[in-house]
Structure 1
């Protein structure tokens, strides 16, 4: 028989006292506690509705789950009712304060329907796993998404900042295509939105981020683009604000734009959004962008768009990252690309979500081309820092990153459904 493993801890206090219902659920508590202490799964199951859930866990096969839980569950020595609360649908929530056989206290809950059956056995809470990309995708399916949108942005130190409203507060997000999803700064997420029962592993271009927790019931508005009641990872990013004091809420990742082709216009400081169907075709009239200078293929690996940049007769795969205000090149290519590198004096540090890489050489990459389109000399940091993220099949097959020095040369449109990048 398949075993179900749970991390057991107890639910917090809920509700206020109410008058008794037609069925007196208090009388059921003695039987419930007795069944728990005797580890009598059949008796407990007989008191549970067919649709009953256990704590915050997804719906399980209770005939398997309840015996497994009781085997691991500590007996209850004493208990008393501390709260009763009638729900809008007529269910009643009862919370008890208990002392377990091992001396530890707890506050389990029991939710009863009108017939006196248990519909939620709140004696455990599972440690759930947050899925940031699925959470954002789910939020987008129920959000207000305009067919076209022109979003002005601020360009500060080569990075894009978009004015936004998060949970009712005004500020801005850094737009970072190196992040797959929305990442919130903990400073701007109220404690009651943090889900301690949900864990999350989060990876950016530079690798895994530490200290990330999970939040729920957030709201975000960027002009006419509105996300309500969405879940997102929360990070202890360094305290940041723009020069005028405008707070920075976190990072807006590329996943926010999965239903759009988007255009970066650094000259006008505009982000242009055009909604597309599953084949990449526009759902509304195209936003005029000027003369098309070239359209080239790109490919996606994880959430990073990759293009091939030519230096001389050879091409090199490079990831596009608007969250980088300099290009980044792997140090291992320094010898191969020496004829195309013009070194500058000094060294710089690279600040990322995982910390700082110090003492990196700076240079200009010269005479690069994308297809037949010539590129200006690009300010580039040469580093031995890992920029691929992940290992094995998950590692990004790139030789570097193209940041602001690449993105600000032309007005460029990225369409991830058609896998194209266009220049105007």
Structure 2
């Protein structure tokens, strides 16, 4: 018979392993010596040690899922429990128990990390929803539209939440985008309608201008052309694809008329030369208004210059494009400043700010009167209480006045 601390071979060749519960038969050996039998079954034990060691490394060094790791541990545990091997099987069971604890710990860590990521994703999506809802009220159509598209890309890059939360946030997000799109569509539809009306009005002006181009009734026709120009400016801009063509036809009709008149009144060339000098002076005066520092002052000054400009009369035809181009450049710059000022201000918000300021001013004046009355009556406690309330209202009034100044007055 042969034995070691963990097993033995009896006289019949039966091999036993020793466990805490007692000996358990693991096989028989008839082909060699008892020592060879023990060595054989010890190698089977060593094989289990290797498999457990490999699983321990996989759990610690790879992204093996908890589910797969648990299944692998269960498989190895079954092998250890029924092992036909000689060795410290209890030690292997203990290592497997420790591995179970490790896997469970990693499972909890992953759950916590997943929960953390879900919380971060929810916060991020809520922030996207809030920004989208703010953008839904914007009139910066291009910038807000581009930003909303960027928010969609950001949203797509975030992990999904639970179905209910994700659906609720997406509904708000989608609603904000739809609201902005509807407002933008309505805005441009209105703009298109205005431009279409401008196109029709300018086509009528062009038709009349072309009809007058062969007139020889110089005075009245020239006066009518001036009226047509006034109506042209008042009509607003047509669609871009029509505006330049209509303008060229309108100016072309006038050019035909005034060229014919110029040929007839060649003696007026000298007068037109003087007109050119005056208009060049007016252009220089207008150009000094740029860059615009005070829009109100600049508009008033330009109106004065333009009235004088209109009163000057015609200049030599070859000089007209340049001098008029310079004047139009100043006019466009003023229009751009007006558009910028309009975008910067918000009449409704300004009205609300002015109303709030008036209410606060009334409240402050009322509190001051109540304090004086309380002091006069010797009721200092009430006066002190009212004074604290006055201090708070005064602080709000100061803020409101500051806000009102930001609206320009």
TM-score scaled by structure 1? 0.20
| Structure with higher helix content | 2
Bigger relative contact order, structure 1 or 2, given CA contacts below 8 A and separation 6+? 1
| Structure with higher strand content | 1
Which protein has the larger Cα radius of gyration, Structure 1 or Structure 2? 2
